[in-house]
Amino acid sequence: MNKNSNTYTFLYATVLVVVVATALSLIATGLKSRQQKNIEVEKKQNILLSVNKALGVDTVPDRSAYIEELYRRYIVEEYLVDADGNKKEGEAFTMNMKTQYDIIREINASGISDEKKSELRRKLSLPVFVCRNDDGALKYIMPVYGLGLWGAIWGYISLDNDFNTIYGAIFDHKGETPGLGAEIAFPKFFNQFEGKQLFENGQFVSIRIVKGGATTGDRHGVNAISGGTITSRGVEEMLKNCLTEYKPFFEQQKTNAKIHDVAIE
Amino acid sequence: MENIISIFIKSIFVDNMIFAFFLGMCSYIAVSKNVKTAMGLGMAVIFVQVVTLPVNYLLNTYLLTPGSLAWISPELAGMDLSFLSFIIFIAVIASIVQILEMVIEKVAPALYNQLGIFLPLIAVNCAIMGGSLFMQEREYAGLGEATAFALGSGAGWCLAIVGIAAIREKLSYSNVPVPLRGVGITFILTGLMGIAFMSFMGIKL
Amino acid sequence: MDTEKTGNNTGLFWKLFTAPIGKNNPITVLILGVCSALAVTVQLESALVMGLAVTIVTGFSSLIVSSLRTTISPRIRIIVQLVVVATLVIIVDQVLRAYAYQASKQLSIFVGLIITNCIIMGRIEAFALANKPWLSLIDGIGNGLGYGMILVIVAFFRELFGSGTLLGYQIIPESWYIANGGFYENNGLMILPPAALIVVGLIIWVQRSFYKI
């Protein structure tokens, strides 16, 4: 057959496309469950790391079994809350924080009327994960999401049941500069958050990321990453914007806890 | 609007395709011996980037992202075609470059004389493919942002290649160690230019 | 190259395999495929994975295109080659996501950019279209390894001097650091993008002086 004829070219292209499409869809479907499992395990791992569990993950031979087992043992509850802090219908684990971030970003955009803000807030569904430590103490884990220098950054913050003191934190990112912004994903940075406080005399102050280093004894500040100014600023914004929306939930839980304490007394 | 301007400026100076990501280095090194040709290639890259990136953006939003097929029928919402991204992006780029070449030749022969020889080179220019992949990874919101990124990243690439071409023109009068001549010194110079460009990192928009 | 006649010669195989690793190196001598090479060289591990991925794609794309070479219509040659390469890259990407998730996260978009890596199209055009499949496979793998080698060398220096580690293990003793009362500090410049270009420039200098090109 003449290689230059239109029919040949057309047939050749068709056969090629069919072969390639079949091969690719077979491979993609075959590997899909494994890929999703990887993503799920990583999410669980980050949630566990934010409450200082699963620290030995790099030394175990079967990462996914190890993470699943710990997740079952420690994470006792997961639910969604609305902007007033009340529980809401829905699946917390599969909630994509990006969608919540898009709403939060709109709320914080300049020139938004209060009316519009509360309308946007009604759309929020914020995930909360509850961890019970071996000694029975409850820790509350909140996901956060924001923008760094090159793209998305996200993480998990866990609080003691006073809803003020940070118990642990972990951050991850899509593609911050290795060695600079990317340092937010290393213990040296996120371990600083432990013991810091979100409230000062009942006022929400969030956590400051201080360039040049926070003063010792600063309960609301941690050291920024040198050379990673924009990423550090991104983390600060992310914490402030996301945790502000959780504030009603914190306050409500605090009140509940007080009532609970009084009842016990 | 602020967002669009910020993406545009950032993609020229901060996320520069050459200095921050080394994309499109092959043609950058090969075609930077004089300013005039460098300018021609730079313009062609801007042009192709601005045409292909929005097309890929639309394909990505309405075809490739998981759940994006819901607009055809709700039953398709569970489909995930994202594994086809690479092949679709490169096919779009290759065919648009081909079509552009034919159209420009017919409509504007003068422009074709300037850009024509560069167009085939661009089909396999990493800066173009990289632009589409970055668009997908960074999840730009809306055609406006995607186009701003296309224009900015193309302009950034053009700026880089014209800059190095100007330096290389001057450099032909310098006494560079023989094994370093040509490519070697170009790499080192690009590195130094990259360091200079890093000072833009601090700009807040 | 007159390879069709002497296809069984092991010496030729060996030459095809080693030339691109040394004096015909695709990156430093032919200046191909630099684009995606440099962004993944901050850590040795990602450089190794990237080198391996590129070797697999160059090898197999050369093999496949060479086997198809008598059937491809010249009019759609480029697009057929692109489809073959893109398919292989998607397969590599999917496998990485399933079995080496951490590595695939680090490489992010640079796996996709293997498609536009000039080495692959370059070897197909220059070699695979005119030679037998086995020779093309060897040529492809040799070029992939030559590319991977430069990546590994660059990454070795950048990780060692930039982070004081190799493959994630601390190499520079902790006690040397100024923070621990020593005299040493990591060179932050090595981690930044421009350092990659400067290191490659220096490698080219060394290699060209050595081979007297």
- pLDDT tens digits, one per residue of B123-171: 778 889 889 988 888 878 789 999 999 999 999 999 999 999 999 999 8
Interface of C with A in 164-203 (CB under 8 A): 188, 191-193
Confidence band, pLDDT 50/70/90 cuts, at residue B102:
confident
Residue indicated by tokens 């010249």: C74
Phi/psi zone of residue A144: left (φ > 0), alpha (ψ -120 to 50 degrees), beta? beta
- At A99-141, the pLDDT tens digits run 888 888 888 887 778 888 888 888 888 999 999 988 888 899 9
Q: What's the rounded Cα separation, in Å, for the pair B83 and B87?
A: 9
Band (pLDDT 50/70/90 cuts) for residue C37 is: low
Residue of C94, C104, C165, C177 to mutate for A, most A C-beta atoms under 10 A: C94
**Cα separation of B150 and B156, whole Å?**
10
Average pLDDT estimate for B20-39: 84
CA A194 to chain centroid, in Å, comes to 17
State the chains in contact with A (3 or more Cβ–Cβ pairs under 8 Å). B, C
Please say if the pLDDT value at position A145 is more than 90: yes
Structure tokens at C15: 């030459």
- Give the length of chain B: 205
- Residue range C43-49: mean pLDDT, rounded: 88
Torsion-angle region of B165 (φ positive above 0: left; ψ -120 to 50: alpha; else: beta): alpha
3-class secondary-structure state, position A223: strand
Angle of the C118-126 helix axis to the C44-68 helix axis, nearest 10: 30
Chain B CB contacts of A175 under 8 Å are 137
Residue whose token pair is 């920024």: A224
R_g of chain B, CA atoms, integer Å: 19
pLDDT cut 70: percent of chain B above it: 96
For the segment B76-105, the average pLDDT, to the nearest whole number, is 83
Q: Supply φ then ψ for residue A179, to 5 degrees.
A: 85, -20
Tell me whether residues A175 and B139 touch, CB distance under 8 A.
no
Stretch B72-86: mean pLDDT, rounded? 79
User: Taking CB atoms and an 8 Å limit, are A24 and C76 in contact across chains?
Assistant: no
Q: Tell me, yes or no, if C9 comes closer than 8 A to chain A by beta carbon.
A: no
Give the count of Cβ contacts less than 8 A between chain B and C. Answer: 133
Instruction: Determine if residue A188 is left, alpha or beta; phi over 0 gives left, psi from -120 to 50 gives alpha, anything else beta.
Output: alpha
Which of B117, B185, B130 is CA-nearest to residue C35? B130
b/e per residue A5-18 (b: at least 16 CB within 10 A): eeebbeebeeebee
Measured torsion, CA atoms of residues B47, B50, B52, B58, in degrees rounded to the nearest 10: -160
SS3 A154: strand
| pTM to 2 decimal places | 0.83
Query: DSSP alpha helices (H): ranges in chain B?
Result: 2-13, 25-30, 35-59, 85-107, 109-115, 119-123, 126-138, 142-171, 183-197
- Phi and psi at residue C3, to the nearest 5°: -95, -20
* Cα of A75 to nearest chain C Cα, Å: 24
- Render pLDDT for A203-238 as a digit per residue (tens, 0 to 9): 888 888 888 777 777 888 888 887 778 888 889 999
Radius of gyration over alpha carbons of chain C, in Å? 19
Residue in A20, A39, A179 nearest the CB of C163? A179
CB pair distance less than 8 Å for B191 and C118: no
Looking at the predicted structure, is the pLDDT value of residue A163 above 80? yes
Contact A183, A189 (CB under 8 A): yes
Q: Answer yes or no: are the C-beta atoms of C49 and C96 closer than 8 Å.
A: yes
Q: Which residues pair with A166 in a beta bridge?
A: A159
Collect all residues of chain B within an 8 Å Cβ-Cβ radius of residue C187: none
**Could you tell me which residues come within 8 angstroms of residue C198 by beta carbon, excluding any fewer than 6 positions away?**
B187, B188, B191, B192
Q: Which residues on chain A are in Cβ contact (under 8 Å) with B83?
A: 24-25, 27-28
**Are the CB atoms for A222 and A214 separated by under 8 Å?**
yes
pLDDT at C6: 44
Enter the tokens of residue A207: 């956590």
Q: Which residues pair with A138 in a beta bridge?
A: A132
User: To probe the interface with B, which of C23, C34, C153 has the most B CB atoms within 10 Å?
Assistant: C34
| Beta-carbon-side half-sphere exposure of residue C30 (alpha carbons within 13 Å) | 20
Q: Cα separation of A81 and C204, whole Å?
A: 59
Q: How are beta strands A126-132 and A138-147 bridged, if at all?
A: antiparallel
Q: Check pLDDT > 80 for residue A257.
A: no
Q: How far is CA B195 from CA B165, C38, C194, in A?
A: 18, 15, 6
